[in-house]
Structure 1
């Protein structure tokens, strides 16, 4: 790592680019928000760094490390802005993507939903040859037939190709041979092999993940190239790491080869920060919610731990890589309110985004958004938004509400605006219920932790819908995901599939798998130049009862594989099974499906304590009309920086920060902590 003193975390969202930076010599931290530039996000990144350097008094050459969360991969998938791709698979398995899984989301539907297939049938090619389930070569590759397949791929003019052969996780020899032949014919093509992207069982998910990775390689390669040029032109020489869906960091070169790991890049930082803050506040059970301009992300932290899953989904596409478990809906400050064809009031998932943005931004927006409604109802101050650097157009927002909502619904301003807030708050509460009920958890047992630029004016009202009586607001909620990214470490996820009974006869095989994974993880950390004392290697096992079609990820004990290892694994697995499904079966055989290793390289933030909050001398407060608790009231307005540790503010009240606003309704009180984080509790 560079010895330069500034560490920067960047989270580029759909509306704003958030920065958190830390001076490693003084320990001082700063936050900043700058508009995202959707036409060229790398330009927005460079602009934000220049603005931060000017405001906080450092040179860009002082930056020693940049940790970067990005939605580039996610947006490319959601908009299907992907290059044309091809798939080479085992002959006879060309239709795996369309066959998929027999899983009915709506059991009463007369027909299933249309499946999203990224590669059409004409560009899916069968390769001659076959690997068996144990890794044996059942049928060798036919050189002449393979040459024909390679020619057809080359003639298709695609920019990316995925290679996913049957049982390649057990023996990748055929995939390696096909890649070599393809690159010899098409040296500039982006090629992804399943044994590197997702070396696990389940053909459909492995194929879909490999296809998505291949088509994202050119997208991320172009972005990384643009970032390097923008930073170089600005005089930034610091190494840059991208944040993965698992919350860990990865080098730019490694990210280009495995871009599918970036799909939850930014939101995962918020989960890391929420977990860290929950522990510091001794509140182990927390629902973290991130409300930005376009989306609302929900993550459950139970017992102080976030959940990592081995498979997720993005816009109907399965993704089989480790990721922080999160539920996302299209509801944010930029979500558009409208009246549908049946005359019903709806909010989202369409968003005004950064361009043109809400009507009140004055950038050409015509449809009222959630931000416009909060402005109309007095919850936002048009003169102090983004620290007063971004004046809001209240008259424009009112006109849009009148034309688009009041007239069609025959409602006055107050009823139309409060109706929109009721709809969006109900959507937010429903997404939290979904995340908790799926785990058999009761919202009333959790605190709500609200962050993101738009969440502060909704959090307590959403909590009341759920019966939650405690709401936590981080010190800098608007840039909280970037704050979490600031604590990220390098992380590599490795896996090896081999179905084995959890029995004494498997000990030698288990030991060999563990040794292989540790060696591979060590080699990756060697390549990252991580010192031995800054490394952590953790093994887990995907276990199931024999005959089950799903597994539970179970922590493996440290040390060599022994009989005690087997006993501990079984005990931990059955405890998880009881918690998740309310039963276990001590008489049923347990089997291992996949062993995993997380290789972590510490980047230096461990042990750092949060700075004590010191109130500013400016104690000036005022009041303004705010629509709260169903009526207009003259509500006190406080500046967060003026509140002293231990100070209590009774609602109704407004707490203003530089980049966001918090609404404290009546019958709630807010307490400032020593670190500047705030806790609101419902009064009896």
Structure 2
């Protein structure tokens, strides 16, 4: 299969930049081999760690930088910029009289009993929010025309505020963007050096607060992301190395640099979504349509759900309490990773996270100046990690310093031995991980017993069986190269564009002409965007979905509709039936006799990128059983078997408690669990008495 954007060079690289490590997956089309690699993240300039990792990979796996034709890049640059408030100076232009939408928000109080609740963050202060004389009605007709004569005075105020970017979110622009587009054109002509973000381009949907918040975030990220992209292109351009670059979006697809530069808010969940992509692919490979995917890295624990073979997607998320009205992978993130810091608070309570040792200085075991014990340190102190084989032997861990830190910071304050203190750290951590998984399933009306746990991330394998046992899951899947699985998911990603049209109507045959018109408009625009990105017609796919609710409800459910060119009565009936079924599953009831409304129609435009044809990995010819190691388990030090993941064969059976090691991850097989190799080299652990057959429903 050839694509207009397929590069002729043989190597494809996927990169996931995390808080502690930068993960790479390298595919070489000449051999079909896929290689995994890790290198420390460089927080001050993530592009430096990326290029360092690429050069290390070329030396390790025998290819040249000039061989790389395609670079797929997941990044946390947008997320970190928001969390750390490293944003541009922005100005918000909105309809006169609506300058306080950001502060009014939704009157939501998270701490309903707090006498002094924290106010919701507002990224643009009141004196930088300017009213524009105009008014658009909810039906898309103009009540007051845009006052273009006031533009010089408006420009003077923007100049006086030294604006680095401008967000434009006018009232009801989702119904008619005419005023917004005209104002945007006037600003671009008068101040071409100041980037402008229009809500009708970023999030053309109802709900003024969410649309305005998303547009503001997008505007404030424009200069930040552009600086990073320019720096990345300069670094990648050194020595004639110029691959075709795509960035991962929050919806799990990738986009061109042009799209990322215009709508950086789509990158806010860029990095973690790669793991969800991999989970969807593995669900098909393993014939396990129900998976809970958990990604435990150095700083965070991300939970996503694959149900009936589909990765859950939501139309709105949030970052640091700021709503983002854009499609994104449905993911719950908590501050629990290998670098999460363990401490005893003033009340004598053991806490773990959300503070993290991050990449610098890292856990005490890294020997880089860290003094506060972490989850990684606890695993090392209990013997679950080999101090001489961390990252495949690339990094030596400092056991004496680790034990001393746990004793001083946790053991002594609680009156516990080092071993008991380390066990306490893992118990607290596992309880937090289990709670995040339960909530992710229970809020969707799902039963953990019907799911298998997909464990990945550099730290995930050390906790998976214990967490699964706690929440009633009897099967755990450890995929190949779990430490870089998010990058693996990115390696197989497709280009994706999300489009939406808010048009409130009843889901009944009388509304079909309006629905058909909206679908035709969405499909035409989606097809045009894929064509602009160089996707040939045969590789384009457009799927529809609808935000739906019972009349009178204040929230909607996203209901997939599939590939429908022209909706008819039968297709509409199927959509309504699917809504009732989803509502029943989510809320335990449905009202088939009540009128149903379509609030927003959506189109997901997918451009298929060429897929790597990966050669099957053969087990190493060395013995699978490496030997034994002293591990603290069940209240005592025991000699437990240690297995080599890369040498495991189909006949090997691992009975817990045991340790399984591979270059970039270590797995703990708990007591009562048995692990064997399954499809695609995945290691499948099953709990005695509750195991499902490998490859079937969990």
CA offsets 1:88-110 (integer angstroms, 9 cap, x no match): 11111111111111333344444
SS at match of 2:237: helix
Report matched runs for 1:445-456 at 5 Å.
445-456=450-461
1:78 aligns with 2:87: no
SS at match of 1:512: helix
**Structure 1 stretches lacking a partner, 5+ long:** none
Contact 1:357–1:363 under 8 Å retained in 2: yes
Partner of 2:369: 364
Contact 1:521–1:599 under 8 Å retained in 2: yes
Partner of 1:579: 585
Report matched runs for 1:247-266 at 5 Å.
247-266=252-271
CA offsets 1:399-419 (integer angstroms, 9 cap, x no match): 222222223222221121111
**Structure 2 stretches lacking a partner, 5+ long:** 1-5, 690-698
Partner of 1:156: 161
CA offsets 1:610-650 (integer angstroms, 9 cap, x no match): 72543433445111111223432111111111111242111
Distance in 2 (CA, whole Å) between partners of 1:498 and 1:666 is 55
Structure 1 stretch displaced more, 212-221 or 136-145: 136-145
Distance in 2 (CA, whole Å) between partners of 1:657 and 1:143 is 65
Partner of 1:518: 523
Partner of 1:177: 182
Distance in 1 (CA, whole Å) between partners of 2:329 and 2:312 is 6
What's the offset of the Cα at 1:188? 1.5
Report matched runs for 1:236-635 at 5 Å.
236-556=241-561, 558-605=564-611, 608=613, 611-619=616-624, 621-635=626-640
CA offsets 1:392-451 (integer angstroms, 9 cap, x no match): 111111222222222322222112111111111111111111111111222222211100
**Normalised TM-score (structure 2):** 0.96
Partner of 1:675: 680
What's the offset of the Cα at 1:672? 1.4
* Structure with more contact order per residue of length (Cα contacts < 8 Å, sep ≥ 6): 2
Distance in 2 (CA, whole Å) between partners of 1:634 and 1:555 is 52
Distance in 1 (CA, whole Å) between partners of 2:618 and 2:453 is 22
What's the offset of the Cα at 1:344? 1.1
Distance in 2 (CA, whole Å) between partners of 1:405 and 1:541 is 51
- Structure 1 residues 619 and 312: alpha-carbon distance in aligned structure 2, compared to 1, 3 A threshold: closer
CA offsets 1:344-394 (integer angstroms, 9 cap, x no match): 111100101101111111111111111111111111111010111111111
| Residue from 17, 21, 24 that aligns with 2:26 | 21
Partner of 2:149: 144
SS at match of 1:556: strand
Distance in 1 (CA, whole Å) between partners of 2:140 and 2:48 is 48
CA offsets 1:266-320 (integer angstroms, 9 cap, x no match): 1111011112112221222211100000000001111221111100011111000
Distance in 1 (CA, whole Å) between partners of 2:346 and 2:152 is 55
CA RMSD of aligned residues (A): 1.5
1:202 aligns with 2:207: yes
Partner of 2:696: none
Structure 1 stretch displaced more, 672-681 or 257-266: 672-681
CA offsets 1:146-189 (integer angstroms, 9 cap, x no match): 43222212210121211000011121121122223333343211
CA offsets 1:532-555 (integer angstroms, 9 cap, x no match): 111111111212111111112222
Distance in 2 (CA, whole Å) between partners of 1:459 and 1:20 is 23
Structure 1 stretch displaced more, 396-405 or 340-349: 396-405
**Normalised TM-score (structure 1):** 0.97
Distance in 1 (CA, whole Å) between partners of 2:416 and 2:139 is 68
Matched length: 683
Distance in 2 (CA, whole Å) between partners of 1:554 and 1:294 is 33
Contact 1:5–1:62 under 8 Å retained in 2: yes
What's the offset of the Cα at 1:662? 0.5
Distance in 1 (CA, whole Å) between partners of 2:158 and 2:582 is 46
Structure 1 stretch displaced more, 330-339 or 637-646: 637-646
Structure 1 stretch displaced more, 135-144 or 325-334: 135-144
Partner of 1:135: 140
SS at match of 1:30: strand
Contact 1:613–1:645 under 8 Å retained in 2: no
